[in-house]
């Protein structure tokens, strides 16, 4: 046989064999696995994907869950609070580089104070739906999320806004970190190279409650600090409403809550970032000093990519849901087997909680 013919035959056979085995693996996986299939979709597009049957369900943060129920197109299958009650969701992180600057600790204390004040203002407004502040909050939220007042008022009822970081918060962060280590997303080698000996020690170091504790000692300031603060947050994420409230100057007599405490806060990206990983990247690239994002991507990027940050406050807990079509025959997680569900990204808390819920039932979550 000629040389070229042999080479050609070998290459073609190799391609066919490899392709065939892989295709067979794929097909066998599809038919035999007790699995739910996921696809990553930007939350603002999830409702459209559901409408055109590109996905059978989606899991997302508010207001994109309530958006479907208010429009009448979707139905809530399960709230994430049913998977893990009071689970942590979004947090406030600060860059260690910023913290190590001369004014870093003082400005961070003031930032956290403004975050707390904005959160308490929201909680107060939410306690009385007839109040002027409630209407103001709904309008602000509608503006920030680009959703109707009806959607955001429904959505805000499902989010636990808060800032304190208690023992259960830290315990949940330990659980998330352990999951990532067990799944090989974080290697022990990397974990130890970052200087952490075990997960509780990591969480103790990564979560710094001292700024929340010190916030009570912070007073308003008549002059602004001459240090611009760059803030990164997620696009239209209602969970991060506190920063939108704290930045709003028109609603509070021409001075924002951040300005009240002498802070010149500007968004590093006005439209907001698509995912928590992008927020951490912005901090890692020194494009942002503070970030609002989900706790899981914060942990992953901090350990895997050495993005030096510290969690200084919580932004919210709960407030995410699995949504199915209003006429869907899916009524339980078991019904999702063999179906496709859209998740924001593999590093999102929503993806993680979905995985937790399915694993409890012995169901895998795999790529569609």
Partner 1 sequence: MGQTTAFGEMFRKYIADHFRRILLGALALAIFIAVWYFASWRLTESNGVLASYFPYPHQVARAFLASFTSPIPGPEAYMLNLAAASLERVLIGFGIALAISVPFGMLMGAFRTFEDLGKPIVEVFRPIPPIAWAGTFMFAFKAFWGPIAIVFVGAFFPILINVIFGVRSVDPVLMDAAKTLGASRKHVFTKVIVPSTLPYMMTGIKVGLGVAWMCIVAAEMLPIRGGGGLGYAIWTISDIGRYDYVYSVMIMIAILSILTAGVAGQIEQRLYKWMGMK
Contact residues toward partner 1 (CB under 8 A) are 1, 3-8, 11-12, 14-15, 18-19, 21-23, 25-26, 29, 37, 39-42, 45, 49, 52, 54, 183-185, 190, 275, 277, 284-285, 297, 300-301, 303-308, 340, 342, 345-347, 365-368
Which residues does residue 40 pair with via DSSP β-bridges, in sequence order?
343
* Ramachandran sector of residue 259 (left: φ over 0; alpha: ψ -120 to 50; beta: rest): alpha
Nearer to partner 1, 251 or 269 (CB): 269
Cα distance between residue 243 and residue 268, in whole Å: 13
d(CA 37, CA 45): 18
**Closest CB 239 distance from partner 1, rounded Å:** 19
- HSE on the CB side for 85, CA within 13 Å? 0
Tokens of 106: 């003082």
Residue number, 165 or 303, with CB nearest to partner 1: 303
Instruction: Tell me how far, at minimum, the Cβ of 37 lies from partner 1, in Å.
Output: 8
Cβ atoms of 297 and 343 within 8 Å: the answer is no
Q: Report, in Å, the least distance between residue 23 CB and partner 1.
A: 5
Report the number of secondary-structure helices (H) and strands (E) in the chain: 17, 13
CB nearer partner 1, residue 277 or residue 291: 277
**Quick check: 57 and 339 in contact, CB under 8 A?**
yes
Structure tokens at 24: 């067979």
Q: Which of 303, 309, 308, 307 is nearest to 193 (CA)?
A: 303
CB of 64 to partner 1, least distance (A): 15
Please, which residue, 218 or 295, has the CB nearer to partner 1?
A: 295
Give me the least distance between CB of 24 and partner 1, in Å please.
Answer: 9
For residue 223, the minimal CB distance to partner 1 (Å) is 34
Q: For residue 207, what is the DSSP state?
A: B
CB nearer to partner 1: pick between 40 and 81: 40
Cβ closest to partner 1, residue 14 vs residue 361? 14
- Taking the C-alpha atoms of residue 115 and residue 252, their distance in angstroms, rounded to an integer, is 15
């Amino acid at each position: 046989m000629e040389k070229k013919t042999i080479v050609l035959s070998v290459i073609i056979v190799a391609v066919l064999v490899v392709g065939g085995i892989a295709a067979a693996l794929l097909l066998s996986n599809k038919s035999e696995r007790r699995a739910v299939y996921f696809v990553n979709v930007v939350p603002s597009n999830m409702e459209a994907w559901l409408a055109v049957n590109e996905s059978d369900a989606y899991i997302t943060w508010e207001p994109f869950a309530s958006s479907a129920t208010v429009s009448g197109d979707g139905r809530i299958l399960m709230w994430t609070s049913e998977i893990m009650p009071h689970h942590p969701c979004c947090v406030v992180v600060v860059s260690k580089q910023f913290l190590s600057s001369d004014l870093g600790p003082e400005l961070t204390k003031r930032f956290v104070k403004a975050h707390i004040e904005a959160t308490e203002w929201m909680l107060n407004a939410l306690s009385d739906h007839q109040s002027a502040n409630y209407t103001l909050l709904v309008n602000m939220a509608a503006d920030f999320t680009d959703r109707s007042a009806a959607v955001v008022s429904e959505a805000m009822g499902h989010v636990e806004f808060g800032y304190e970081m208690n023992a259960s918060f830290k315990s949940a962060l330990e659980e998330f970190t352990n999951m990532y280590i067990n799944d090989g997303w974080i290697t022990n080698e990397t974990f130890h190279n970052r200087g952490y000996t075990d997960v509780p020690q990591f969480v103790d170091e990564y979560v710094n409650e001292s700024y929340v504790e010190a916030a009570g000692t912070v007073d308003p300031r008549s002059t602004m600090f001459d240090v611009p603060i760059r803030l990164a947050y997620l696009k239209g994420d209602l969970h991060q409403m506190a920063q939108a409230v704290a930045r709003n100057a028109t609603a509070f007599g021409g001075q924002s809550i951040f300005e009240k405490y002498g802070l010149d806060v500007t968004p590093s990206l006005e439209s907001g970032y698509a995912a928590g990983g992008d927020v951490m990247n912005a901090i890692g690239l020194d494009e942002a000093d503070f970030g609002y994002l989900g706790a899981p991507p914060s942990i992953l990027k901090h350990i895997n990519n050495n993005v030096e940050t510290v969690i200084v406050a919580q932004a919210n807990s709960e407030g995410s849901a699995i949504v199915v079509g209003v006429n869907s025959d899916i009524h339980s997680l078991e019904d999702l087997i063999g179906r496709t569900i859209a998740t924001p990204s593999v590093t999102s808390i929503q993806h993680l909680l979905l995985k937790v819920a399915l694993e409890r039932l012995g169901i895998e979550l795999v790529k569609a």
